[in-house]
Amino acid sequence: MATYKIDAAHSEITFKVKHLMISSVTGKFDKFDATVTAENEDFTDAAISFEADVNSINTGNEQRDGHLKGEDFFAADQFPKLSFVSTRIDKKGEGEYAVTGDFTVRGVTRPITLNVEHAGTVVDPYGQTKAGFEATGKINRKDFGLNWSAVTEAGGIVVSDEVKLILNVQLIKQA
């Protein structure tokens, strides 16, 4: 059984949300951790455990980040972490998987499925085995209690309910 840890310096945990339904705001979490254990080299039997520090949310705007950490959204004081624990992996094609797991945000746990592409496994110049993945998916933020909403003067929605998830992850095989 091999154990892999996320290489935070070479990984990005990002999301996109429509603002005013005309453009997207991109955000990320700066602090996160993940462990993957697998016996099979193709990761079809992987067990994945991930968590992000909600207080590390970063959208490039301090005021917006403060609002997201507050009661209207993540309630970071009460729920400082969000997490994902895999429950099933289905191989869709060569290096392509559907990874289902329990996603927990703000104390609410729901199953989600991510489309995952295994970009490959290599040995770096320092002798470390590294595996690269890109995972994408969508959630409805209101399913997780992120209910804040506002409308424009014309009746338009300020923030969409759909949140796109984009994770670019590099894992390091542990000795």
Q: What pLDDT digit, counting tens, does each position of 34-81 carry? A: 999 999 989 999 999 999 999 999 999 999 899 899 998 899 999 999
Report yes or no on whether pTM surpasses 0.85: yes
User: Residue 21's pLDDT is what?
Assistant: 67
Residue 111's DSSP bridge partners are 102
Domain span holding position 155 = 2-173
Report the chain's mean pLDDT, rounded to a whole number: 92
Q: How many domains is the chain built from? A: 1
Q: What is the DSSP letter of 157?
A: B
- Burial of residue 103 (CB within 10 Å: 0-12, 13-18, 19+) is buried
Residue 25's DSSP bridge partners are 17
Distance separating alpha carbons of residues 99 and 11, to the nearest angstrom: 18
